[in-house]
Amino acid sequence: MSRLRRREALWFYLFASPWIIGFVVFLLGPMIASIYISLTDWDSFTPPKFVGLENYTRLLTEDPVFWKALWNTFFYAAISVPLGLGIGLWLANLLNKQVRLRKVFRTLIYLPTLVPLVATAMIFKMVLAPSGPLNDVLGVFSIPGPSWLLESIWVKPALILLSVWGAGGATVLLLAAMKGIPRELYEAAEVDGAGAFRQFWSITFPQLTPIIFFNLIMGLIGAFQVFSQVYILTKGGPDNASQMMVPLLFNEAFSFYHMGYASALSWLLFAVILVFTLLAFRTARRWVFYETEVK
């Protein structure tokens, strides 16, 4: 290697050192520590006691709350993410027409996503109160509204409702992508006599699949890690009906100081996220359309 090349390499490592140091200190080190902690019984005050895989077997075979939290998290992710994306896509398609005041509509639809999660939770605490605005509206149609956050069948739909309120985030992204679809495709389809629905299904949707796919993955990963709204609104209740993976983990770690048990839980969460991400990538080939594959 020439002197110049060596100097360049030196500068590379110097410039990259913040990330490298951060990676070792805040990620790699803690990950290795986490593996070890997950194999111990540890309250973070007294010395840890090595217990092997006991935390994992206890979680998977003896802890009914874990399975309930896992199921709840699946349920929440499987409905809220596709629903939010679907509504986002539907609204984007409407805004992609020659609409007057498009920017006003777009801003209004996007506005809820700018509200920080804590404020969103406060808002929904008020909206979903037993005698709150939502039930007032239902009352107008003489539908007796449930006590959303206090009833075990309604608490998950309530949390899904909260997440769908932010569907405007997807709308703005998808709308921007729709603008990039060549007009010629629609002109050709129109000449061929394709209707609006057919044009959406055969042109718009396939052209958007890469972005939809990206948002689906990121959305699922995010949904599996849902925390703040559960912690603030329900604390996992009633009767663990809204208990999810991360709030459970948080409780185990910082309320009960079961550091080993909570660490094992975090690795199971990672496994679940990994499986779903890989699954999504495996099925992606069947429905995600990349322009480059055609050319």
Q: Is 141 in the site for another protein (CB under 8 A)?
A: no
Burial of 129 (0-12, 13-18, 19+ CB in 10 A): middle
Site for another protein in 1-30 (CB under 8 A): 5, 8-9, 11-13, 15-16, 18-23, 25-27, 29-30
- Closest distance between another protein and the C-beta of residue 152, in Å? 21
23 Cα distance to chain centroid: 24
273 part of the interface to another protein, by CB under 8 A: yes
Asked whether 216 and 85 are in contact (CB, 8 A), the reply is: yes
99 binds another protein (CB under 8 A): yes
Asked if 83 is part of the footprint of another protein (rule: CB under 8 A), the reply reads: no
Among 59, 127, 149, 159, binds another protein (CB under 8 A): 127
Mask: binding to another protein, 229-258, rule CB under 8 A, as x and -?
--xx-------------x--xx--xx----
Where do we find the tokens 């459970």? 248
Backbone phi and psi for residue 146, each to the nearest 5 degrees, phi listed first? -80, 170
Residue 21 or 53 having the CB closest to another protein: 21
Among 46, 131, 142, 255, contact with another protein (rule: CB under 8 A):
131
47: which 2 tokens?
Answer: 């010395």
Alpha-carbon 204 to chain mean position: 24
Nearer to another protein, 39 or 91 (CB): 91
Exposure string over 173-200, b if 16+ CB within 10 A, otherwise e: bbbebbeeeeeeebeebeeeebeeeebb
Measured from the CB atom, is 32 or 53 closer to another protein?
A: 32
| Nearest one of 219, 207, 217 to 287, comparing CA atoms | 207
Residues numbered 186-215 forming contacts with another protein, rule: CB under 8 A: 186-187, 190, 195-196, 199-200, 210-211, 213-215
**Does residue number 105 form part of the binding site for another protein (CB under 8 A)?**
yes
The alpha-carbon radius of gyration of the chain (Å, integer) is 24
Among 50, 67, 114, 256, binds another protein (CB under 8 A): 114
Per the CB < 8 A criterion, the answer to whether 221 and 273 are in contact is yes
Stretch that binds another protein, among 52-60, 78-86, 106-114, 140-148 (CB under 8 A): 106-114
Token duo for residue 131: 């005698």
Stretch that binds another protein, among 67-75, 92-100, 140-148, 151-159 (CB under 8 A): 92-100
**Nearest to 35, CA basis, from 281, 286, 263:** 263
Cα–Cα distance for residue pair 237/230, rounded to 1 Å: 9
- Residues 26 to 55: which contact another protein by CB under 8 A? 26-27, 29-31, 33-34, 37, 44
Residue closest to 273 by CA, chosen among 79, 85, 70: 70
- 118 lies in the binding site for another protein (CB under 8 A): yes
| In the complex, minimum distance from the CB of residue 156 to another protein, in angstroms, rounded to a whole number | 19
Residues 159 to 178: which contact another protein by CB under 8 A? 165, 168, 173, 176-177
